Structure formats: C-alpha cells, structure tokens
Structure 1
C-alpha cells in the first residue's frame, strides 16, 4: 500500500485501528503507512493515549503500545472494514486521486476485534492459542488449541492457517466460526516451516470453459485471460481452492456449465491432493 500524508485526525484513527485489530501499535508500524517524521508519529500515539488512557499500555520490550481488554472504539466505528482500508485490503478513502471508486465487496465473515487481535499477536509472536470452534462436521462449539501462522482473505471470507492440536496437522479455520479466543501462550507446536502444503507452490491453470463456442471463448480470453489461451497461477497449495472459487472456475465441466462458469480448471485430475478441496 502506498504511503499517505493525510492529517493528524486520520493518523489518530489509524492508531486506534491498529490497537483494536492488530493488538498493538508502534512508531515503526505507523511509519510504514504515513510519510510523516517519526517524532510526529510519536506525538500522535501520545495524543491517543492521553485521550483514551484505558485503551492501551506501553510495552518496553515490544517498544509498542499494547491493547488492553478494556479497549473500545472512540475515534472509529470499530468495524473490520476500517482496518482493511487502512492496511490496504480494500481501497482506502482519501487515496483515490479525486476519482470515485465504488466497491461492492462485502465481508461474509463476522470478524471480532478481540479474536482477530489475539490471533494477530499469536502469529506475530509464534505462540499457540486456545479457541472454541464450530465446523460443518462438528457445528457445536468445541475447544481447540491452534498455532496460527497466516491470515487468508478469500473473497468475502477470512480464514487463518494454523497447526491444530486436535487434528495433529495444519488446517484452515474460518474466522467467523471461532467463538472464543484466549490470550496467546508459549508453544512447542510446529510452526510455518513445518507446514509442507503451505510451503509447496503449485501451478494452477485456468482456461475458457470448453463448452463455449469460438466467439464466446475469445471474449472470455480477452476479458479474463489477457487474450491468452490459458492463465497460469503460481499459488500455495492450500490457497488453490480459494483462487478457483474467486475466479468462478469449473472443476467438473459437465455439471458446472456456462453461463455460470466461464472458466475451467485445466486437468484438475493432475493437481495434487488438497488443491481442490
């Protein structure tokens, strides 16, 4: 995301957003977002602390202000979309050079501030965390201990990639299905270096759906594939399924047909296990 030189009030809102959603804010992190001298950024953080003293405490080791359990939004609405706009997942207001840009992207995941910030800290510090989770196979809340190592934004849904003690392996967890999150603690669970699927990059090929006629195929090539016969994505193995979903590509071309599906996965049977599910 390009740096912004917007004003004091906007930077104060950024301080609050980072506290609420990332769990901490530092001068170094603000310097990644704003083209402002470090002294000014320190004053911004001090001004926020003075106006909302219960929201954070200073941690000498981290050299950052850490969110407290009492933190509440004061300058912001406390919405996840505000954090997304700040860090660049969605177009940020004030950075559109006078050109109107309307996004219909809506979050399909109910992301909670406390949950997100605790998981954020666990990823950053390489710790494990106790959660309560629900899944389609087990829709009743049940405890799990995970060591998260990456957030995944897949269209309107958010996930976290983590080692799961119950499953004894790495899994993707939908943030909207996490009901409770405890504070992170030290761990000996495997980290991202042990996530073989995550560290494996595959080639995913998408082509026009074979049931299109010649003119329709050319249209889809021009619209979706930059005029080429096929587009190749180099993607982490567990993320392949999200790319397929985001592109609306058919896996079974006999049951997934146009006009709902304009693209298709090339030779899906040749993809490694885990690429499609």
Structure 2
C-alpha cells in the first residue's frame, strides 16, 4: 500500500509546491478556494480544480467541500500533509509569499494583520548582489569600507557567509588588510568588485577558529523573576533550562539580541532581561563576548 508521503514524493516539484500551499491555507486559514491557487501560481481554473482534487485524493480527512460557498474547508481530522517550518510560516504570514516579481508596482502584503519592528539597516542590492556572487564563486572581493575606527579604506576581503544579527546584516570574511577573519557590515561597503583569483588556503572558512568553534550555552529564567515557569513556557524549556549551540563568531550578537543577562551574579535587573546565562565561562575565548549584556572577562584573560 502506498502511503501519503510516498505518494507525494512521486509528484513533480511544481505539484508538491501547489499541494503544500493547499495544506498551508487549510492549516492556518481553515479554507482555500480555486482563486487562491490561481492568484498564487497563475494556473488555469481547470488546473486549480485538479490540484484540489489530487489533494483530496491523497488526504481526504483533511479537506471538505463547502458547496454553498464554493470553497474547501479544513476537515475535523486534519493532519498536516507537509511539514511547515515555523520561521517560514511566520515570515509568510507577516510578509506574504515572495515570487521574485514584487516591487513598487506589486508590493508583498501580509497574509494576516501583523506588525513587525521596522528594519532600519537595509543593505543596498548593488552591494549585496556582488557579495553573494563572491561567496558563491569563492572569490576575493575588492571593496571600499567605512569603519568606525579607520574611516574609509580600500580592502580586499574573502567573504564566505552572510550573518543576520537581527539588527543588521554583515558578511564574515578574511580581511587581507588585517590578516584575520572579521565581520563587515554590508551597509558600510561600497564599490565591491570580484577578483579573478582563488583565495589562499589560510583565507578559507575552515581556518576561521571563531566560525568553526561551536559554543554550548545554557539559559535559565532570570533569578529575579517571581514566575520562572512562564519564561520556561515562553522558550519551550525542558527541566528548567534551554540549551543552544551557536558559532562563537555570532554568539555575542545572539546574546545581545535576546537580552540575555551574562553577568556572573545576574546583576542586570531591567525588564528586558528575562534570561540568564547559567555559565558565563562558556563564553571564554569568544571574541565578540563583549557584546553580551553584563559580560565580564574572567580575571587573567587576555584582552584583544
């Protein structure tokens, strides 16, 4: 007997995408009609009807036809046919589905009323595109860079990854000027130009110790809070704590974004600090630990 997942796997990529959209609309909106498929994928009415019939054939318990309103509604025994990643779902609900054609004439719209903090630091596309090409092609990139300490300088970097800190985007790269791996804020880059050469062995990401090192961090509800069980629920904690594993190169940014009190004596008492880093020594050797709220370098540690 062919199971639902096996049946789905035999379909074309385009068919799976349309069925996943039907699954999504039923799961999060409780209904879907032919116009939804026609608008999203540009299929003909007959094609939309076939997709709905196919979904109904594969997962009959998930979908019921409401003839009076000519829409399909979620079945009482609904069980998602596809796995819907929470981050993608939330992004789609807040910003709509992207199809590469959005622009001033066709802006993306949220699927439900949703408000998100405004993004204040947005990279220019004529900078982001060549940076992405350099990462993909594994090529050095000549840039002009505006630094808080050095002002405007010309540099050659070897980029290998983009990083979203939650407040801004930067690129992780080897900096030939400094001879070390560093973070470069995308909005501070100008005139990027790919160089037709391969990076040296020591410029490759496997030589970036901060990037390859994985740090284990344990978060607990902040000791000042009277109802720690609520924080445990907020973060899905097991046994009163939450363990995460993160690259050392991004640990400081993450702790700053999540407002984690990293002081050894949980001294930060402002309202935004709901989590405490149970073992601040876990940040030993993490170069950007100075970004972590309340962090204190262990006595005897060398300062960079």
**TM-score, normalisation: structure 1:** 0.61
Distance 1:231 1:93, change over 3 A: same
The alpha-carbon deviation at position 265 of structure 1 amounts to 1.5
Residues 217, 277 of structure 2: 8 Å contact kept: yes
Aligned length: 194
Partner SS state of residue 212, structure 2: coil
Aligned position for 1:152: 163
The alpha-carbon deviation at position 173 of structure 1 amounts to 1.2
Residues 218, 227 of structure 1: 8 Å contact kept: no
Partner SS state of residue 197, structure 1: helix
Q: Give runs of aligned pairs for residues 174-185 of structure 1, distance below 5 A.
A: 174-185=185-196
Aligned position for 1:44: none
Q: Give runs of aligned pairs for residues 221-236 of structure 1, distance below 5 A.
A: 221-226=232-237, 228-236=239-247
Distance 1:191 1:205, change over 3 A: same
The alpha-carbon deviation at position 227 of structure 1 amounts to 5.6
**1:171 aligned to which of 182, 192, 215:** 182
Considering fraction of residues, name the structure with more helix: 2
Q: 1 CA distance for matches of 2:138 and 2:18?
A: 33
Looking at both structures, which has the greater relative contact order when contacts are Cα pairs under 8 Å and sequence separation is at least 6? Answer: 1
Distance 1:101 1:128, change over 3 A: farther
Q: 2 CA distance for matches of 1:270 and 1:226?
A: 19
The alpha-carbon deviation at position 159 of structure 1 amounts to 0.9
The alpha-carbon deviation at position 99 of structure 1 amounts to 5.4
**1:134 aligned to which of 146, 158, 169:** 146
Residues 109, 175 of structure 1: 8 Å contact kept: no
Unaligned runs of 5+ in 1: 7-33, 37-86
Question: Whose radius of gyration is greater, 1 or 2?
Answer: 2
**TM-score, normalisation: structure 2:** 0.56
Residues 154, 242 of structure 1: 8 Å contact kept: yes
The alpha-carbon deviation at position 244 of structure 1 amounts to 0.8
Residues 144, 165 of structure 1: 8 Å contact kept: yes
Q: CA-atom RMSD, angstroms?
A: 3.1
The alpha-carbon deviation at position 232 of structure 1 amounts to 0.7
